[in-house]
Amino acid sequence: MSRKDSAGRPPLRVAVLGSGKGSNCQSIIEAIEAGRLNVRIVCVISDVENAFILERARRRGIPAFYLSAAPFKTKLDGAAELRYVETLREHGAEVIALAGFMRMIKQGLLAAFPNRILNIHPALLPAFPGMESWRQALDYGAKVAGCTVHFVDAGMDTGPIIVQRAVPVLDGDTAETLHARIQTEERIAYPEALRLLSEGSLAIEGRRVRLGNSPYSFPCCFQSVAISIL
Ligand code: GRF
């Protein structure tokens, strides 16, 4: 499919990498199908052979591959990294969307796709990087939690921030209820960030990502907090 948007741009060619159930990948697919996102998912790759994200992609006819990242457990490096770069290039990926890909991205992939790798993290970065950040937020006693879509750099959850969406932490929350509330926002945040990127609206200036003339991004980012304050 080579549909163009109203400005005549062809779809942005995005590869999605994930290790798990793929709900973020699903939200991207749905935004594309609804005509809200000028993106084509050129392939989905997982480092977990039976990850449901692969099944979701195959159901939609999207090329989906299991690519082992052995022998490493927590990073994508060495020969495995080369295999990933090769497959991404073969499919003509312009941008990589990490969606629950449970490995650190190293220099080879970063250099192959400079400022073209995005990640979603279930916290309002820079607070609570790393694992189970919703639980970290709850245990810390934070009153506001949320999610962040950011560019990927060599650090863990440290790259320039594109979109954040906030949710309140409620008195009765458990790790599970808070995580579910955050995930609802993730499904809005990732398509939104990709939309901005596909429209050429993003400019990275140091740590700051300018969103250009995006009429929706600012209110969207703060919607949930605004609702909880009212
Ligand atoms: C998401 O919560 C995301 O924030 C984190 O990993 C999870 C992936 O979930 N990085 P899914 O595979 O997209 O359902």
Q: Domain 120-230 has what CATH class?
A: alpha beta
Index of the ligand 1 atom closest to the CA of residue 182 = 2
Record: fold of 8-114: Rossmann fold (3.40.50)
- Summarised one tens digit per residue, pLDDT across range 73-92 is 999 999 999 999 999 999 99
Index of the ligand 1 atom closest to the CA of residue 22 = 12
- Summarised one tens digit per residue, pLDDT across range 15-70 is 999 999 999 999 999 999 999 999 999 999 999 999 999 999 999 999 999 999 99
Domain span(s) for CATH 3.40.50.170 in the chain: 8-114, 120-230
Residue whose CA lies nearest to ligand 1 atom number 12: 22
How much is the pTM? 0.92
Q: Please determine, for residue 159, whether its predicted confidence score (pLDDT) is greater than 50.
A: yes
DSSP string spanning 161-207? Answer: EEEEEEEEPPTT--HHHHHHHHHHHHHHHHHHHHHHHHTT--EEETT
CA of residue 126 to ligand 1 center, whole Å: 17
